[in-house]
Amino acid sequence: MRRIAGTMIAAAVAAAVGLTMAPAAGFAQDTIKIGNLVATSGVLKGPGEPSVVAVDIAVEKINANGGINGKPIEIVRFDTGSDPKQASVGARKLIQDDDVLAIIGPFSSSETRVALNDAERFKTLMLPTSSSAPGLVDGKSYIFRLSEDEAVQFGRLLDTMKKDGIKADTAQIVYISDDVVSNIAGTKLYPALFDKYDIEYGEPIPVQFKSFDMSAQAAKIKQENPDIVAIAGLPDQASKVIKELRRLGYDGRIIGSQIFADPNVVELFGEAGDGTLLVAGFWKGRTEESAAFNEAFVQEAEARGIHKLGAHHSDAQAYDIVYMLKQAMEEADVTGDPAKLEEERQAIVDAMDGIVFSGIIGDDICFQGQDAQLPGYIIEIKDGEWTKFDEVPADPCE
């Protein structure tokens, strides 16, 4: 897979340097220009950077097979630095200065919350790669999310635990206060679902991104000794909580939603992670294509100095987004002609209305409003391995 980094003119070079690529004069008419808002620096670099690899793999494959309507894809990137304000700046630049037909990204819900206003204002399709905050795109017209709602996925996890008789009468919640999705999950989603399932819980415990010492929070939890501890946080923060809990002797279940559903956590958590249950939006063994992508992704990520044990669902979503966009652009007969820019931007959005898409994350994926209905995979860390505990089919679209 090293050839990807060497053969992609725009996408891979931009991924390496983190800069927007400026095309040569006249080049735009010979390509299909797609913007890509990425988080390759800042606090989201860890989970955000690998999605660039996934996009590049998809673009390389599509271009090798004739591109879109006979023209190669040209990726134009802007690094948000994990800053929502910069996501908005980047969206405007890609739309107004770079004349992209659509935008893949931004990465997170916090970035999307701001940048979506620019997509709506300039009537340009935006496809976030890892935005799962509930209700974020309700009532919008130019934002479609190929990601599943955190509340839906966490509810599936609780259903599975109940079905399998896993004791969960009492719980404690830990969340990252300065992350949009973690904050919402920890203060609203988890409590609401625990109420629904008659699970008793204490006041959710906040921690910050840069917190290093989790001893006080862990000691409080250990004293209460709940059946389960639900963590709403990125892998690094979740790891600190889990390791401290295990050090203090807590032996209950650790559970989580999609936020830390990254195969790398099996190394990050170590022995402390065994028995952890979480829910993810991608399972590498779903199909031969899913497995092939996972293998190619791990190899290419390593070639770029990014250590990955497997693809996170945000990586798989980023890959599928490129193919879904290809499907919509072909349906819209996109040419990339600058003279038809506004017309073709709207045609792409129109083609997304009622689209049904099959990819590595699922088959016959449909959209309820602006949100895809996706399957869920219940993952258990067992003997230091990322294993599938159960799977739940996608909800039907009305």
Confidence of residue 154 (pLDDT cuts 50, 70, 90): very high
CA–CA gap between residue 364 and residue 359 (Å, rounded): 8
Q: Give the model confidence (pLDDT) of 307-327 as tens digits.
A: 999 999 999 999 999 999 999
CA dihedral 265, 38, 186, 259 (to 10 degrees): -30
CA–CA gap between residue 75 and residue 238 (Å, rounded): 34
Structure token digits, residue 98: 């770079």
3-state secondary structure of 24: coil
Could you count the other beta carbons within 10 Å of the beta carbon of residue 358?
15
Rounded to a whole number, what is the distance in angstroms from the first to the last CA of the chain? 41
Express as a percent the part of the chain with pLDDT over 70: 92
CA–CA gap between residue 343 and residue 29 (Å, rounded): 15
Among 110, 111, 109, 199, which Cα is nearest to 154's?
199
Q: Give the model confidence (pLDDT) of 38-90 as tens digits.
A: 999 998 898 899 999 999 999 999 999 999 999 999 999 999 999 999 999 99
Domains of the chain: 2-148+284-365 (3.40.50.2300), 150-280+377-392 (3.40.50.2300)
| The pLDDT value given to residue 235 | 87
Q: pTM for this one?
A: 0.88
Residue 7 has pLDDT above 60, yes or no: no
| The pLDDT value given to residue 208 | 79
Instruction: Supply the DSSP string of 255-324, one letter for each residue.
Output: EE-GGG--TTHHHHHGGGGTT-EEEES--TTSSHHHHHHHHHHHHHHHHTT---SS--HHHHHHHHHHHH
Q: Give the model confidence (pLDDT) of 99-112 as tens digits.
A: 999 999 999 999 99
Confidence of residue 207 (pLDDT cuts 50, 70, 90): confident
- Phi–psi pair at 376, nearest 5 degrees: -125, 145
